[in-house]
Structure 1
Amino acid sequence: MARLRFFPVSYDVAGRVLILAGGGEEALAKLRLLLRTEGRPVVFAAQACAELVSLAQRHGVTIHPRDPSVADVAGAALLFVATGDEARDGALALLGRATGVPVNVVDRLDLCDFAVPAIVDRAPVSVAIATDGFAPVLAQRVRAAVEALLAPDFGRLGELARSVRGSVGEAFSGNAPRRRFWSSLFDGRAAELALAGDLDGARRAALSGLASAQEADNEGVVWLIGAGPGAEDLLTLRAQRLLQRADVIVHDQLVPEAVIDMGRRDAERISVGKAKGRHSVTQGAINDLLVRLAREGRHVARLKAGDPLVFGRAGEEIAALRQAGIRHVVVPGVTAALAAAADYAVPLTLRGVSSSLVFASGHGADGSEPKGWPEVARAGGTIAVYMGRTAAAETHARLVGNGVSPSTPVAAIENAGRADSRALVGRVADLPALAVRDDIAGPVLILVGEAIAAGDFAAAEPIAPRADTPASLLAAE
C-alpha cells in the first residue's frame, strides 16, 4: 500500500507572521494564498515585480528589500521561499531550520518540511488536495472537480456550525452524540436556511432541534450493509454515507480492509471473522453483540460481503434485532453472481435460452439445503453456486444425478468484481477437477447453464486440462 510522505494537517496561523522570501511570479502566487489566511505575511525581496508590490500595498503587507535574517525568521509560523535561485533557496531553507521554523521551497521538494496543497476555499470550510509534491497539476485537476461539487456559498454551513458550537458542546457530553447531531444538522432544515443566506434562521432551527436530538440520542440502530464483492467503487452511495456515521463497524472476514477503511477513522472496528472452516465467532454471539451495541445507544454498521440477504445470514440477525426491539435497516449490496456476470458480460437470463435464475449455496451441495435448484438447471435455467469450489465434486454429482447434461456450460469465477477477477470455463463434467486445483486462493462462484456460453471468455482458462480452447469448452458436444 502506498504511504503519504507529507502528513495532511490544518495549521493555525491566526495572528502569526508568515515569511515570504522572493519577488517574482511564484512569490506572487504564494502571497495571494497567504492573504486568504488570518496570518500576517511579510515579504523579503531585493527585487519585486510590479504586481507583487501593488498587491502588497493594497493589503498593507511590508516588503523588505533584502533576504530575511535569523532575527526576522525567528518566531514566525512558516517560511516560504520562492527566490528562483537554487543557492539562495538552499541557504534560506537552512536558515529556517536553524530557527525551528517549517520551510516550504517552491519546486524544491528536497528542501521542504511541508508541502502546500491545492485548496478549495469555502471559508471557514476548506478542502486541501495534495500529491506529496509530485503531481501539482493532478492536484489542480482534482481541485477543479471539487470546486464544481461545492457551491460558492457552502462555507455558510461552517458559519452555522461556528455559531452553535458552544450550545452543542453543552448539550451533549460525549463525542458520539455530538457527531450524530452534526450529521443530522447538515442534512436538515437548518442547513437549507444557511445555504439560502438566512444564518439567523438557520441558527434558531439548529438550537430548536437540540432538545429533540438529546431525547433521541439513546436510541441505537443497526445498519446491515452489503459491502459488495470487494471493489470499493461498487459500494453504494448509501452504504458510504452510513459507514461515515457509524460508531462501530462489525465486519465479516471477506470484507476487504479498503472497504472497512471507508468508515470513520475513529469508529470502533470488530471482526467477527466468519469464513468457511474458521468460524471464530458463532452466529449467536454475533446476534448478541449487535443487540448489546445497539442497546448502548450506538450506531452500528454490520458490514457483510456481497448483499446481506444473499447467503449473508442477515435473516438470523434481523430476527434477533426484531425480537430485541432494535431499530435496523438493510442496505443492499452487489452480490457475487451479478459481479461475476458483469466481469465477463454473461447474460444470466437470455431470451430463448434461459428465463430463470437461482442462487444456490455450494455448502448445501450435499443436500442439506432446500432442494430444487438442479431441476432448474435441467429445465434450462441458470444456476449461480456460491462458495462452490470445495463442493464442486458434490455439485457435479447432484446436477448429473438430477438429469443435467454433463456438457452444460460452466464458468467458475474467482474474486468476482475485483481487479484480480479470474475465469475458468468448461462443462459440468469438468467440475470435479475444480475441487482439486491448488492454484485458487480466492472465493469462487460457479455459473451453470446454457446462457453462460454467451459470455466473453476469450481470456479464460479451462477448468480441466484439455486440448480445446476455452471458447470451445463452452460449446455443446
Structure 2
Amino acid sequence: MDYFPVFLDLKNRRCLLVGGGDVATRKGRLLAKAGAILRVVAPDVSSELRELVNTTGGELLLREYQKDDLQNCVLAIAATDIESLNETISADAQALHLPVNVVDSPALCTYITPAIIDRSPLVIAVSSGGEAPVLARLVRAKLETLIPASYGRLAQIASQWRDRIKARFADGDSRRKFWEKILQGPAAELMMNGQEEAANQLISDELDADQAQLVQGEVYLVGGGPGDPELLTLRALRLMQQADVVLYDRLVSDGVMELVRRDAERIYVGKRRAEHAMQQENINQLLVDLARQGKRVLRLKGGDPFIFGRGGEEIELLAQNNIPFQVVPGITAASGCAAYAGIPLTHRDYAQSVRFVTGHLKSDDTNLSWPELANPTQTLVFYMGLVGLKDICESLIAHGRSPQTPVALIEKGTTQEQRVLVSDLSAIADVVATKDVHAPTLFIVGEVVKLHESLKWFNPAI
C-alpha cells in the first residue's frame, strides 16, 4: 500500500488553493463541498471559483503566490501549469509540515486526492496512488452504478439509531450482528425506498424483540475457486465479508484471502501430503464448537468444497449437531485451470466426456479402475496427482492408453504464476522432473490438450 487512506475534517478550516483555471475550480468544488474555507491565489480566477470563495466566506487574492499565503491553512493544493511554482509551493508547505497536493505531480505531493463516490454521509474513495488516475475514475464509474444514491439516506437513518443501539447492546460483537441484520434486511429496503416511518418502526420492533437469535451461530462452507479472486461468486464474497472467524486451507490464494473481512479471526487448517496443520476430524469438531459459541464461521476451501474438498465430511457433523450451514459452490480447479490454459475439457472432435479423478483417497489406496480410465474418447483430470504422476502415466499406458496421448500439467492455475507444461503420457514425468514444479497442480490427459497452443492466446489471463 503506497498511501495510507484517511478522511480529513475540513469544516470551517482554511485551505490554500493556488490556481484559477478549470483544474483549480474542480478542486475548489471538492473543498467547498467538504465545508472548507477557501483561500484562492491566482492572477486570474474563473467565475465559478470566485463564487465558491464567496460561498465559503474565504479570500480571493488576485496576484502571484507568496509563502505567507500558507499561514493559518490546514492544507494546500497547487493547481497551476507552472512547474517551478508548483515545486516552490510543495517545498514551502512541507517546510511548515502542511499536507500538500500538486495536481498531476505525485512526486511533489504528501497526499493525493482520490476519485470519490459521494453518498454522504457515506463516502467512498478510489485511488491508484497517483499512478493511473484515469483507471481510478473508471473504477469509480463502475461503483457509481452499483451503489445507489439511496445509500446516503440509509446511512443518515442509521446514524439516528446509533446511540440507542449502542445502549441496547453492551458488546461490539452483538451490535455488529444487529446492524448487519438491519442493513441487510427489510428495514434497509424500506429506507432506500423512502419509507422512513415504516423503516424506523421495524428497527424499533427488532430492537425490542428477544435478541437470543443474534447469538445463533452458523457455518458457511464456501468454495474459493482455483486462485483468481475474480472467479469468486457474489454470494461467496458476501459471506466472506460477514464471517467472524475463517478456517482456510493452503489452496486458498492470497488474493482470495484479501477479500475476507479484515477483523475476522483466521485459523489455518491446511493440509498437504503427510503434513496436516489440523486433522480432519478436529476441523469438523472445531466448526461445531465455534458455531455453538454464536460465531459466524467461514470454512473457506480452494476450488469447490464438494469436489475432492471433504466438504461432505464437514457438513455431516454439522447436520448431526443441528448447526445451521450454507454451502456456496466454487469454480473447481478442473474448470478454472483448463479454461485459463486454453484447454476445453470436452470437444466434439476430441472428447465426449470428462472425468475428475483423485488418487488420494481416505485410505491412501489408489484403487482406481484403470481400464475405464484408459478410454481414449474421454478427458481425464487428476487432482493432487503431482507426487504420483509417474505411476498414473504408467498405469494408463499399461491399460491401453496410447503413450502419445497429449497431456498437460498446470501449476498454480488461474494465478499470475500459472505455468502449463505440455507433453505426452510417455514423457511428461521426465519433463516435470526438470522444471522444479510445486503444488497446487492439475494433470489433464486427453486429445483436447492439442488445442492449448491455438487457444491459449485468446485468454487474457495467460
TM-score, normalised to structure 2, is 0.87
The 2-side partners of 1:91 and 1:292 are apart by 62
Aligned 8 A contact 2:221 2:298 in 1: yes
User: Relative to structure 2, which stretch is displaced further, 332-341 or 347-356?
Assistant: 347-356
Aligned partner letter, 1:455: L
- Runs of 4+ aligned residues of structure 1 deviating over 6 Å after TM superposition are 67-72
The 2-side partners of 1:231 and 1:361 are apart by 22
1:62–1:344: structure 2 CA closer, same or farther, 3 Å change rule?
closer
The aligned residue for residue 228 of structure 2 is 231
SS at match of 1:424: strand
Superposed CA deviations along residues 183-211 of structure 1, whole A, max 9, x for unmatched, are 33232222222222223332222232234
SS at match of 1:439: coil
| CA displacement at 1:304 relative to structure 2 | 0.8
Superposed CA deviations along residues 243-273 of structure 1, whole A, max 9, x for unmatched, are 1111112111121111101112212222112
Q: Does the alignment pair 1:279 with 2:279?
A: no
Superposed CA deviations along residues 320-346 of structure 1, whole A, max 9, x for unmatched, are 222333222111111111123313443
1:353–1:104: structure 2 CA closer, same or farther, 3 Å change rule?
closer
User: Relative to structure 2, which stretch is displaced further, 298-307 or 352-361?
Assistant: 352-361
The aligned residue for residue 419 of structure 2 is 422
The 2-side partners of 1:262 and 1:395 are apart by 37
Aligned partner letter, 2:180: S
The aligned residue for residue 452 of structure 2 is 456
TM alignment of 1:65-76, pairs within 5 A? 65=62, 73-76=70-73
1:173 to 170, 173, 193: 170
| CA displacement at 1:396 relative to structure 2 | 3.0
Aligned partner letter, 1:289: L
The 2-side partners of 1:311 and 1:226 are apart by 11
SS at match of 1:429: coil
1:132 to 129, 132, 156: 129
User: Relative to structure 2, which stretch is displaced further, 168-177 or 396-405?
Assistant: 396-405
1:249 to 231, 246, 250: 246
The aligned residue for residue 193 of structure 1 is 190
Q: Does the alignment pair 1:358 with 2:358?
A: no
1:392 to 389, 396, 402: 389
Aligned 8 A contact 1:250 1:270 in 2: yes
The aligned residue for residue 148 of structure 1 is 145
The 2-side partners of 1:241 and 1:338 are apart by 23
1:42–1:216: structure 2 CA closer, same or farther, 3 Å change rule?
farther
The 1-side partners of 2:230 and 2:104 are apart by 34
Equivalences, count: 456
Aligned partner letter, 2:156: E
| CA displacement at 1:361 relative to structure 2 | 1.0
TM alignment of 1:71-470, pairs within 5 A? 73-212=70-209, 214-351=211-348, 354-364=351-361, 368-369=365-366, 371-372=368-369, 374-378=371-375, 380-430=377-427, 432-433=429-430, 436-449=433-446, 451-452=447-448, 455-458=451-454
The 2-side partners of 1:438 and 1:260 are apart by 28
The aligned residue for residue 460 of structure 2 is none
The 2-side partners of 1:65 and 1:136 are apart by 30
CA RMSD of aligned residues (A): 3.0
The 2-side partners of 1:135 and 1:379 are apart by 50
1:42–1:220: structure 2 CA closer, same or farther, 3 Å change rule?
same
Aligned 8 A contact 1:22 1:44 in 2: yes
Q: Does the alignment pair 1:34 with 2:28?
A: no
SS at match of 1:197: coil
Superposed CA deviations along residues 398-445 of structure 1, whole A, max 9, x for unmatched, are 334544444444332222333333333344334553674453123222
Question: Where in structure 2 are there 5+ consecutive unaligned residues?
Answer: 457-462
SS at match of 1:413: strand
Identity over aligned pairs, percent: 39
Aligned partner letter, 1:189: P
User: Relative to structure 2, which stretch is displaced further, 283-292 or 88-97?
Assistant: 88-97
User: Relative to structure 2, which stretch is displaced further, 176-185 or 303-312?
Assistant: 176-185
Q: Does the alignment pair 1:14 with 2:28?
A: no
User: Relative to structure 2, which stretch is displaced further, 24-33 or 218-227?
Assistant: 24-33
The 2-side partners of 1:157 and 1:373 are apart by 60
1:421–1:213: structure 2 CA closer, same or farther, 3 Å change rule?
farther
Aligned 8 A contact 1:359 1:384 in 2: yes
Aligned partner letter, 2:410: I
The 1-side partners of 2:249 and 2:451 are apart by 31
Superposed CA deviations along residues 117-145 of structure 1, whole A, max 9, x for unmatched, are 12121211112121222332332222222
The 2-side partners of 1:183 and 1:365 are apart by 40
The aligned residue for residue 22 of structure 2 is 25
